[in-house]
Amino acid sequence: MLDVKDLRVRFRTMGSLRALVKGKKDPFIDAVLNVSLSIAPGTTLGLVGESGSGKSTLGRAIMGLTKTASGTVTFDGRTLIAPGLDRSQEIRAHSAMMFQDPISSLSPRLRVRSLIAEALKIRNWPAGKIDAEVDRLLSTVGLPASLRSRYPHQLSGGQARRVGVARALALQPKLIIADEPTAGLDVSVQGELLNLLHRVQQDTGCALLFITHNLSVAQHFCDQLAIMYLGRIVEIGSAADVARHAQHPYAHGLFSAQPYPDPRRRRTDIQLTGEVPSLAQRPGGCDFHTRCPKAQPRCGREIPLLGQAVPGADVACFYPETTACHAAPQDVIMAVNDEGSSRDDRSRGEVEA
Ligand SMILES: Nc1ncnc2c1ncn2[C@@H]1O[C@H](COP(=O)(O)OP(=O)(O)OP(=O)(O)O)[C@@H](O)[C@H]1O
């Protein structure tokens, strides 16, 4: 459904403007760099990374909402963004983006009914049947029809996110980009919203780009995981492989540090230390080498590119980790079963609150 090749997003910042004044050569920051990924219909790619790693910028660039992006985006078999080509309106016509801040991403002047009706009109829904369809969609996302006359500022965060899902449903999108869809919600509401997204995907067969900080949710909910660091994807692969056997030292550190049911089996030998470098002062060579416990002199000189650093492996590291991030899944399942329940053997998708 979606194929992204070598996407780059450059921003000019206040700091870089000062550098320009001082005659420095490159007054830009690259918020997204060398990003390539694909999402098949009906599958979910989770995009994980620390704050500022470029996740939202990447999501917006795919939708053609960032003017300073370059690279190629192929959507549903057609190249719609490429050097000298911008047909991103076709991507937007068949996609829905759920922004991080659910309330401010809904037009403050429109009531819930109009917000959803707008999406139905794009699909030429018969005018006389719009109200009934709005009510049906509200009920699908678990909201009462009485909410249709409210403005966004009169909704709670959870309700606003559900309205976002109802709008997405009204559009029947082929692609949903959900940027931190559960941020700031109660755990029970998070679970409901994830299940709702999962059902939407099952019903429509759409591809989903799921942006999150939450590693546990990402590994349970997604088919594929991409780990971002300083604007680049450093590792990409099946969610199970990346979560259990992350090869990039950064990804490995993230998953090793994740709380696990049996603390005795958690690994602590690689820990993430140090600060994420500023995008304005990207280190030479590998972006992570200044914090990497395995860094060698080569890492400060050469950039390890995904798919090239180690032939055949989707990891941007010359010296990938070979050990598991934590105890073998079977051991963990047994350990958890001792206490009566297991999370690891549950099928992916439905999330318990
Ligand atoms: N319009 C802009 N102009 C300049 N810099 C920008 C702009 N938008 C984003 N950035 C910078 O690009 C980098 C990536 O930001 P982005 O919001 O994509 O990160 P993120 O991974 O989504 O973070 P978070 O998880 O906190 O939402 C940050 O350093 C941010 O300051």
CATH 3.40.50.300: which residues of the chain?
A: 39-68+90-223
Q: What does the alpha-carbon distance between residue 185 and residue 156 come to, in Å, rounded to a whole number?
A: 10
Whether 253 shows a pLDDT value over 90: the answer reads no
Q: Which residues of 37-66 are buried (b: 16+ CB within 10 A; e: fewer)?
A: bebeeebbbbbbbeeebbbbbbbbbbbbeb
pLDDT at 163 over 80: yes
Angle between helices 157-171 and 130-140 (to 10 degrees): 130
Is the predicted pLDDT of residue 14 greater than 80, yes or no?
no
For atom 7 of ligand 1, the residue with the nearest CA is 11
Banded model confidence at residue 203, pLDDT cuts 50, 70, 90? confident
Q: How far is the CA of 35 from the centre of ligand 1 (A)?
A: 15
Rg of the chain, C-alpha, whole Å: 21
Q: Of all atoms in ligand 1, which is nearest to the CA of residue 279?
A: 29
More confident residue, 14 or 212: 212
Q: Are strands 44-48 and 224-229 parallel, antiparallel or unpaired?
A: parallel
Instruction: Please tell me the CATH code under which domain 39-68+90-223 is placed.
Output: 3.40.50.300
271 burial level (CB within 10 Å; 0-12, 13-18, 19+): exposed
Centre of ligand 1 to C-alpha 70, Å, is 17
Q: What does the DSSP 8-state code read for residue 63?
A: T
Q: Ligand 1, from 9, 11, 67: best to mutate by most atoms within 8 Å of Cβ?
A: 11
Residues within 6 Å of ligand 1 by CB = 11, 13, 31, 49, 51-57, 279
pLDDT (0 to 100) of residue 344 = 39
**pLDDT band at residue 263 using 50, 70 and 90 as cut-offs:** low
Residues of the chain above pLDDT 90, percent: 37
Give distance in angstroms: CA of 278 to centre of ligand 1. 12
Q: Give the mean pLDDT of 322-343.
A: 49
Q: State how far the Cα of 215 lies from the Cα of 336, in Å rounded to an integer.
A: 19
Neighbours of 102 (CB within 10 A): 26
Which of 56, 62, 209, 215 for mutating ligand 1's site (highest number of atoms within 8 Å of CB)? 56
Picking from 73-87, 94-108, 220-234, which range would have the lowest pLDDT averaged per residue?
94-108
Question: Does the pLDDT of residue 336 top 70, yes or no?
Answer: no
Taking CA atoms only, the protein residue closest to ligand 1 atom 14 is 54
pLDDT given for residue 287 in this prediction: 93
